[in-house]
Each structure stands twice: as structure tokens, then as C-alpha cells.
Amino acid sequence: MGTQGEQQVNEAGHLMIDGADAVELAHTYGTPLIAYDVSAIRQQIRRFKKVFERNQVDYAVSYASKAFATVGMFQLVNQEDAHIDVVSGGELYTAIKAGFPMEKVSFHGNNKSRAELEMAVDHHIGVVILDNFHEIELLSEILKEKQQTIKVMLRLTPGVSAHTHKYDQTGQEDSKFGFDIQSGQAQKALQQVLANSQLEMLGIHAHIGSQIFEVNGFVMAAQKLVDLAADWQKKFNFETRVLNIGGGFGIQYTKEDDPLAPEEFVDAIVKAVQKQVTLRQLKMPAIWIEPGRSIAGPAGYSLYTIGSRKEVPGIRPYVTVDGGMGDNIRPALYEAKYEAVLANQATAKPDETVRIAGKYCESGDILIQKQALPKSQPGDVLVIPATGAYGYSMAPNYNRNPRPAVVFVEKGKAQVIVKRESYEDLVKLDCSFV
């Protein structure tokens, strides 16, 4: 059951993105272009929320904004009445600019600076998710100076490692994130937080990894967190009001990926928590989740114009597009796999297998190693679906290529949500050497 579904094609044989012709989008806004299917984003958030509502569980769906953090995206997420996670002062600033309700913001990160924590306190954000002892100290100092209080959660490493790429694992004990449960660090952190009346201890958090395709890891993490909550209830009379199980729900990039539906993940998590809570005779906490990739990813499409072509006799042709690792670094960074569609011949049978190369001066700048495509011409529009998460948000300016424009498309109507970077933008911060 894919979350990406079948691509829509119009009568001209062109790929459609939420009611708009992809070829027309490319011609109107230029390429490289990132286009989001807004209906798909709305639908995904609603699907996550609905499962909690059906189960009558208190919840928050908190969009992990690092997947794609811009003013327009925050406004869309707010329209759907979801929360957001931020991991930096920059993401928080973007949320402030978007007018996002600060009480629905959670602040993550394993090295939040004093300035970032001050910003969080000044703007009265919802929750700071404490990651380490240094941070507890810093935040305590700030709150003392400002005579304020703030809600906090503890980020824990439950000792669960997800079956995913090693860079995508975060829940194992030997991780840079969070307090380890096993060694007693987590309990020590709890005691420090409980001893400070300016820290309002809301609950516990774990994020086990990313691009996960099975429920086991979430179920195990949920059990461990509830067990810990029971232990802390007994020892410290501390009631865990929120159990935050993180994000990491996998999506479909290629036909080989077979992700679970949002409903399956959430149902499994809710059932696991309910079962363990009953067993441990605890009050049912609210359950929070933090999907990033699964909200922004499937909804995003990268549109490119095909340029040069290189034949390597006896091997395969290289087809080069006008973007690459500057708008999608994931293939170079993680060997991430994608599939492409020739947008102007979206239903045509493939004639050849090509390698899709980017225009950046790196041999590793290959978007797709092997792609079956109909015969293409320079000027054709090539589209890579499922690029909405960790694409634009990771985009570097390597080779001084401007970053692409981003449009939101909803029911056939498109609007620019991030302008294309100009050459002037590229030198904006440069200073003359005198």
C-alpha cells in the first residue's frame, strides 16, 4: 500500500500535479522547480490525526519542519491545525515570521545555543525538548534571569535501533542524541528537572530513526517509554502527561519501497501504549508524533529541463538536467534512490535506460543511476516525484547555482511559495576585499 499512489496524467499525456500540468508549471515558473501537491499535504496530516481521534486518544501531530521549513509551509500546517518541531533558531524565526502559534512549537536539537534557548523562552514556545545536561543548565540560567517558566520534555534513547540506513538511526544507546535510559542518565535528568520549579516537566520523547517500514521499532519504543513512565511514577510520583514517539514513517521513493499507511503506524503505536498503560496501571498519556518526511516528501516534485546528453558506447547514455545535488543532495549523500518521469510523455513506453546526471562539478552528482525512459530531447521536462522532504531544506549553493523556486499547487492553481534565488542573492553577503 503505497502512500504515493498512481501519478495523474492529462489528455496530452502530461504529468499532473494537484490538477496542474507539470510541463506548463515548468514553462511558467522555470526550472529547476519544486512543486508541492497541497492537497496531498493536507490529506496526509488529516490521516494521521484521524486515527487518534477514532481511538479517542489525546494527541498532537507535530510536523518535523526540517523536512521543509518555509513561511508558506508553516502557514499550511497551521491551517491543518497541527503542531511543528523546530531544530534551530532559523526554523523558529521562520515560524515566527509565518505567524505560527508559538504554543504549538517544540524545540529539538542536541546543541541548542544560549541565544536559541533565549529566543524560545522570549517567544513562549510550547515545549523545549531537553537533550543533554548542558542544556538543562543553560535553560535553567535563562529562566532564572528572565523569571519565566517553560514546559519541557526529555529526549531519551530507548535502546531501540530502527532497520534503516545507519545515518537514519537515532534511537540506539550509542547516539549523539538524548539521555540514555539504561545507564541512569535519564533518571538523573528527570531529578534535575523536577528540582527546578521553572521547568514544567510534561513528558518523554524518543525518535528511533527515519524512513522506517515496520511497526516493531515504534511498538518497542512505546513499551519502553511506558515502562519508564511507570517506574518514574512509582519512584518520584511523576505523571507522564505526554508520550512523544517521534517521527520516521517511511515513504515510497521507488517501486521497491513498500511503506505502511499512516493509519497502520499510528494504530500500532496507540495500541501498544494502551496495552502497556493498562498493564502498568497508569493514566493514559497524550501521544505525540512528529512526522516530517511522510508529510512533506510524497507531496513534492522536482521539475527539471533536460539539456546535454552523453553516449558512453556499450554502457549507457547520460542525460543531464539543469539541477542536481544543489536541489536534491540525498542521492549524493545517502545513495538515496528515486524514479523519474518524462513529464511531456508520462505514459509513453520506455525506449532506453539512462543515467540522470546533475550539472554540478562532482562525479557523485547523479540523481538516478538507472532510469528507463522514453527517448528524450533537450528541452523536455523531467520530473522526479517524492522529493518534498529533505530536498529544498538541504539545498546548498555549490558552484554558485541559485536555489530553485518552490510553488504550491492546489486544485490546479499554483502560487510561488519560495522565489527563485537570483545571482544578486548569491553575492548579497559577500564583502569586497579592500
Among the listed residues 94, 294, 302, 345, the single contact to ligand PLP using CB under 6 A: 294
Residue of 361, 396, 412, 427 marked catalytic? 361
What is the grid cell recorded at 192? 534535575
Dihedral sign for Cα atoms in the order 276, 168, 125, 41:
negative
Check residue 83 for interaction with ligand PLP (CB under 6 A): no
Does residue 390 have a known ligand-binding role? Answer: yes
Among the listed residues 83, 104, 151, 207, the single contact to ligand PLP using CB under 6 A: 207
Does residue 141 have a known ligand-binding role? Answer: no
**Coil, strand or helix at 394:** helix
User: Which candidate, 84, 154, 88, 78, places its Cα nearest to that of 120?
Assistant: 88
Among the listed residues 159, 291, 385, 404, the single contact to ligand PLP using CB under 6 A: 291
397 phi, psi to nearest 5 deg: -100, 30
Cα–Cα distance measured from residue 119 to residue 212, given in angstroms and rounded to the nearest whole number: 33
Does residue 248 have a known ligand-binding role? Answer: yes
Check residue 203 for interaction with ligand PLP (CB under 6 A): no
302 alpha-carbon distance from chain centroid: 16
Q: Closest approach of Cβ 230 to ligand PLP, in Å?
A: 23
What is the grid cell recorded at 309? 546528453
Does residue 2 have a known ligand-binding role? Answer: no
Cell 490546479 maps to which residue? 412
Check residue 403 for interaction with ligand PLP (CB under 6 A): no
Cα–Cα distance measured from residue 265 to residue 290, given in angstroms and rounded to the nearest whole number: 12
Q: Closest approach of Cβ 210 to ligand PLP, in Å?
A: 3
Check residue 67 for interaction with ligand PLP (CB under 6 A): yes
* Binding span for ligand PLP by CB under 6 A among 95-103, 246-254, 307-315, 364-372: 246-254
**Coil, strand or helix at 234:** helix
- Cβ closest to ligand PLP, residue 100 vs residue 249: 249
Check residue 210 for interaction with ligand PLP (CB under 6 A): yes
Does residue 241 have a known ligand-binding role? Answer: no
Q: Closest approach of Cβ 235 to ligand PLP, in Å?
A: 26
Does residue 167 have a known ligand-binding role? Answer: no
Cα–Cα distance measured from residue 403 to residue 323, given in angstroms and rounded to the nearest whole number: 9
Does residue 93 have a known ligand-binding role? Answer: no
- Cβ closest to ligand PLP, residue 37 vs residue 85: 85
Cα–Cα distance measured from residue 274 to residue 52, given in angstroms and rounded to the nearest whole number: 12
* Binding span for ligand PLP by CB under 6 A among 242-250, 335-343, 372-380, 413-421: 242-250
Check residue 385 for interaction with ligand PLP (CB under 6 A): no
Cα–Cα distance measured from residue 425 to residue 417, given in angstroms and rounded to the nearest whole number: 17
What is the grid cell recorded at 136? 538543562
What is the grid cell recorded at 282? 497508569
Check residue 292 for interaction with ligand PLP (CB under 6 A): yes
Does residue 11 have a known ligand-binding role? Answer: no
The answer to whether 85 touches 63, Cβ cutoff 8 Å, is: yes
Cα–Cα distance measured from residue 74 to residue 72, given in angstroms and rounded to the nearest whole number: 5
Rg (the chain; Cα; Å)? 23
Among the listed residues 126, 159, 171, 246, the single contact to ligand PLP using CB under 6 A: 246
Among the listed residues 66, 330, 355, 359, the single contact to ligand PLP using CB under 6 A: 66
SS3 breakdown of the chain: % helix, strand, coil, rounded to 5?
35, 25, 40
Catalytic site residue 431? no
Q: Which residues bind ligand PLP (CB under 6 A)?
A: 64, 66-67, 85, 108, 207, 210, 246-249, 290-294, 389
Q: Which residues are annotated as a binding site?
A: 248, 290-293, 330, 334, 362, 390
Which of the residues are catalytic?
Answer: 361
Q: Which residues are annotated as a binding site for pyridoxal 5'-phosphate?
A: 248, 290-293, 390
